[in-house]
Amino acid sequence: MTSAPKAKEPIDVAVLFPQLDDIADPKLREGVAATWQDLWEMSPWTRIEEVPTSTEIPYPTLPHNRCVLEMAIAVADAFERHHGVKVNRDYLIAAAILQDASKVVEFERGPDGKTVPTALGREYPHAFWAAHMALRHGLPDEIVHVLLTHTPQAAKFPATIEGKILYYVDQIDVIGIYKDRWRKELFITK
């Protein structure tokens, strides 16, 4: 008799991202953890540490996600201290924890060990599934907007301060883990 396949170990979102506890709204905290957990259950990966940043960037996504989260909070702190710019911490932390959560369903390891897109990764834009699950768990539009606009591939640029902070620190981190993907072009207009 064969034994039933063992269910995958759940992840502990508060251990992976201790800043989860800094979210003041308990319902939002639960929703962020549940969104990550649902995506993890759908994921073909069994060890979160092995999930890469992208099909192009082999560096693991977990330290990338953690560094982006830390930098986003640091920028919000500096903005507030120096310029009195108010940033919604709950929205910023929730969005930073979730921005790349859908990577666990967007790609997988191909037969030759290379990272390849999954069917979902081919059919949906990056961050769509994190946004979809976040809505299912009742997360507010302000957070879903940040998730959907945090990538340069998105059709829209983030409209809020939380979204803009996340967008730029994410790009800064790509320089640290991979290389500079931006180039300067000069346009001469009359």
Interface region with Fe ion, contact rule CB under 5 A, candidates 9-17, 68-76, 78-86, 92-100: 92-100
Q: How far is the CB of 180 from Fe ion (least distance, A)?
A: 17
Q: Is the dihedral of CA 145, 69, 113, 105 positive or negative?
A: negative
Interface region with Fe ion, contact rule CB under 5 A, candidates 6-14, 77-85, 96-104, 128-136: 96-104
Interface region with Fe ion, contact rule CB under 5 A, candidates 10-18, 100-108, 136-144, 156-164: 100-108
Residue from 38, 100, 162, 173 touching Fe ion (CB under 5 A): that is 100
Q: How far is the CB of 151 from Fe ion (least distance, A)?
A: 5
Reported for 63-68, long-range contacts at CB under 8 A and 24+ positions apart, including other chains, are: 63/177, 64/100, 64/173, 64/177, 65/17, 65/96, 65/97, 65/99, 65/100, 66/16, 66/17, 67/173, 67/176, 67/177, 68/96, 68/99, 68/100, 68/166, 68/169, 68/170, 68/173
Question: How many residues make contact with Fe ion (CB under 5 A)?
Answer: 1
Of 28 and 127, which has the nearer Cβ to Fe ion?
127
Task: Round to whole Å and give the CA distance between 167 and 151.
Answer: 7
Q: How far is the CB of 90 from Fe ion (least distance, A)?
A: 20
Interface region with Fe ion, contact rule CB under 5 A, candidates 10-18, 93-101, 131-139, 152-160: 93-101
With H, G, I as helix, E, B as strand and everything else as coil, classify residue 52: strand
Binding site for Fe ion (CB under 5 A): 100
